[in-house]
Amino acid sequence: MKNVKSFALAITLAFITLLAKAQTAEVAIGGDVTQPYKINAATFAGMKQATAKVTANDGREHTYSGVSLYEILTQADAIPNKQLRGKSLTKYVLISAADGYQVVIALPEIDPAFTDKVIILANKEDGEDLAPNFGPYRLIVPGDKKPARSAMRVVAIDVLTAKKQ
């Protein structure tokens, strides 16, 4: 019986720790930007909100809400004069997750001048906060046949420039 109580206490403490981390989590925006900054719950709530619908592996459609990646990078002044052309077309976005997982998005994939698809950094799924194992922030890439670029527990978004070695 003592082992069961100890196990229950350990699980409870682990859950509380996860919730505390989720509430204080930040996403660092940096790289080749002129105004790096950090997103937390307060700054995220103050940004223009967007939604994206995607079909999960189980065949059900889910609605994610958050902030468009374009909006996030525009605030960091990642797109010179808000126009992608010339050398700025060699830029890409590296999304990093808490577990070390990383995905790449070409900068034109987020620019409304190039696409109607809206990639978002989500904090809600179907109106509810993301589960701790998915959030507090998750990248959602609508239109991808596989959700491999929909990184979970995002901690950093960096704009980088592709250079031939």
> What pTM does this model have?
0.81
Q: Average the pLDDT over 33-57 and give the result.
A: 92
Return the number of other C-beta atoms located less than 10 Å from residue 84's C-beta: 19
- Domains of the chain by start residue, with CATH: 26-161 (3.90.420.10)
Residue 56 exposed, middle or buried by CB count within 10 Å (0-12, 13-18, 19+): exposed
pLDDT tens digit sequence for 81-139: 777 777 878 899 999 999 999 999 999 999 998 999 999 999 999 999 999 989 999 99
**How far apart, in whole angstroms, are the C-alpha atoms of residue 64 and residue 52?**
5
7-32 as b/e, with b when 16 or more CB fall inside 10 Å? eeeeeeeeeeeeeeebeebbbebbbe
- Answer whether 21's CB lies under 8 Å from 153's CB: no
- Greater model confidence, 11 or 162: 162
Does residue 16 or residue 86 have the better pLDDT?
86
- On the question of pLDDT at 16 being above 80, the answer is no
CA distance 50 to 79: 20
DSSP 49: P
Q: pLDDT tens across 53-91, in order?
A: 998 877 889 999 999 999 999 999 988 777 777 787 889
